[in-house]
Amino acid sequence: MQLDSVRDVKNQARGVVAQMLRNDVSRRRLGVRAQSIENAIQPRSIALGVAASSNNEDYKLAVRVQNPLLLEGKEVQTIRQMAKGEVDVRYIGQVQKRQAPWYQQKCRPIRIGCSVAHFMVTAGTVGAFVQSAGQNAMVLSNNHVLANENIASVGDAILQPGPYDGGQNPADQIATLTQFVPINFASPNTVDCAVAGLAAGINFDSKNLDQIGQLTGVRPSPVNTGDAVAKVGRTTGVTHGTVLSFELDNVTVGYDSGSATFDGQIEIEGVGTSPFSQGGDSGSLVVDQENLAVALLFAGADVGGSNGQGLTYANPIAAVLQALSITLIV
């Protein structure tokens, strides 16, 4: 299908998903806490986006099923018929925020990819360094890393490394929370992001992407299916991946505060036998082959992908920069 045709079908299919949700006994069944993947109830949710066709010239409708019982259900069958079979259906399971399992060292100067977090959060990743009118340099990461899922207050201490990695307040404070986009648990979101102003005397390196090279700026055009991407994160370090889908809507993500849905997301799978991200990589900056920023990583699923190592979800960087009224420091 042509891209416009896929978008038209996606909009029609959203009606099928919406009706399915209305028919559920309770919308609360979609709200899965992110504290335990093993014990979580998988959400009755279907995400829709754009994927590559077999000839790599046209596109298919990306259908991402988060509950195995829906794979052979009438909703997926109806969506298949709407798209006349031109679909890429994948089971992705529970999508979780990417947060904290392993130790990372104290970094001075502060670098892209190192451990960081609000003093009441475990640990996430420094995505990049940004600025806005009238503000000094700031650290960019996720709301759930720097703002504790809306619970934090502007001015709260931000630590490097994060508390899970041994960061102590106030000894390891490097910034204060400046601004965040609230996560909405009742209606769709587009970003999970926040910034924290660096304290006086805290040095930082805004370009170094470890083995990837130097950050060169922001990509002016959106990503496409098949694009090669990479990131530096506090858990898995440098990883490489491929964009599977973009404009992915209705991705249901589990947080400690409940479940939130996200529209317009980018879906990435890891290259080779490794995942693109794991817990603790939240906030990582995703770059393309020219080291231009394309997205801000925030969530992932432990199943799915051609290598069976799960899928990663990221906010388009343009949406993040616009939401916070910031520009990237390069």
pLDDT digits (tens, 9 = 90+) for 1-13: 999 999 999 999 9
Alpha carbon distance, N-terminus to C-terminus of the chain:
38
Q: How far apart are CA 81 and CA 176, in angstroms?
A: 51
Task: Look at residue 42 in the predicted model and tell me its pLDDT.
Answer: 55
Per cent of the chain over pLDDT 70 is 92
Lowest mean pLDDT among 19-33, 137-151, 170-184: 19-33
Task: Look at residue 33 in the predicted model and tell me its pLDDT.
Answer: 26
**Residue 261 corresponds to which tokens in the numbers above?**
């849905």
Task: Look at residue 283 in the predicted model and tell me its pLDDT.
Answer: 96
Question: How much is the mean pLDDT over the chain?
Answer: 90
Burial class (CB in 10 A: 0-12, 13-18, 19+), 214: exposed
User: Which residue carries 């996720």 as its tokens?
Assistant: 142
Task: Look at residue 25 in the predicted model and tell me its pLDDT.
Answer: 37
Phi-psi domain of 310 (left: phi exceeds 0; alpha: psi -120 through 50; beta: other): left
Q: Which of 306, 246, 310, 251 is nearest to 276 (CA)?
A: 310
Q: How far apart are CA 189 and CA 90, in angstroms?
A: 22
Q: How far apart are CA 297 and CA 142, in angstroms?
A: 8
Q: How far apart are CA 209 and CA 211, in angstroms?
A: 6
234 close to 123: Cβ distance less than 8 angstroms:
yes
Q: How far apart are CA 288 and CA 266, in angstroms?
A: 13
Topology of domain 94-330 in CATH is: Thrombin, subunit H (2.40.10)
Residue 302: is its pLDDT beyond 90?
no
pLDDT digits (tens, 9 = 90+) for 215-246: 999 999 999 999 999 999 998 999 999 999 99
Task: Look at residue 34 in the predicted model and tell me its pLDDT.
Answer: 26
pLDDT digits (tens, 9 = 90+) for 21-59: 887 533 333 322 222 223 334 567 899 999 998 887 899
Task: Look at residue 38 in the predicted model and tell me its pLDDT.
Answer: 30
According to DSSP, the β-strands at 46-52 and 237-249 are antiparallel
Domain ranges within the chain, ordered by starting residue: 94-330
Task: Look at residue 28 in the predicted model and tell me its pLDDT.
Answer: 35
304 close to 251: Cβ distance less than 8 angstroms:
no
213 CB neighbour count, 10 Å cutoff:
13
Distances (CA, A) of 222 to 4, 85, 313: 15, 26, 15
Instruction: For 53-184, list the strands marked E by DSSP.
Output: 59-65, 87-91, 95-97, 110-111, 115-118, 124-125, 128-131, 138-141, 157-159, 173-180
Task: Look at residue 99 in the predicted model and tell me its pLDDT.
Answer: 61
pLDDT digits (tens, 9 = 90+) for 70-120: 998 999 999 999 999 999 999 998 787 876 444 578 999 999 999 999 999
